[in-house]
Amino acid sequence: MIFMATTSTRTVTIVYSGDTVGTQSLAAASNTTSPGAVTIQTLASGFNTITVPSTTGVVVKSVTIVPPASNTQTIVLKGVTGDTGVGLHLTDPTTIALASTVTTIGLTAGAEITNVKFFWT
């Protein structure tokens, strides 16, 4: 797959209601060398190495991982296979800001998960 640089802007908005009311927007710096890419992958049962899109002139600054809405399998973000890792929500999106030196991320799935979307910005 060939990626061309595009500009992306990422914002996280938190809206509180109930005992606490308010809105907080957290903006990340714009990325003028984003690949602007979405990939759909199947996670195999166990450890999966996910390769960060790479081509000349493109720098990925974040990834948003979106499991399918019907997912019931665990997903754990890991540095290496033996790492305890951090459990991710089964169906909610997770955004991770990445250092420019990151070339892969590790995800361990409890069983096969199809149609996991990766938004690379």
- Domain spans of the chain, in order of start: 6-120
How far, CA to CA in Å, does 99 sit from each of 43, 45, 61, 92?
Answer: 23, 27, 7, 23
Amino acid at 117: K
- Contact call for residues 85 and 75 (beta carbons, < 8 A): no
pLDDT of the residue at 104: 96
Threshold 0.75, pTM exceeds? yes
Per-residue pLDDT tens for 73-82? 999 999 877 8
User: Is residue 10 predicted with pLDDT exceeding 90?
Assistant: no
* CATH number corresponding to 6-120: 2.60.120
Query: Strand 113-120 to strand 6-8: parallel, antiparallel, or no bridges (unpaired)?
Result: unpaired
Per-residue pLDDT tens for 59-103? 999 999 999 999 999 999 998 778 899 999 999 999 999 999 999
Give the span between the Cα atoms of 116 and 121, in whole angstroms. 16
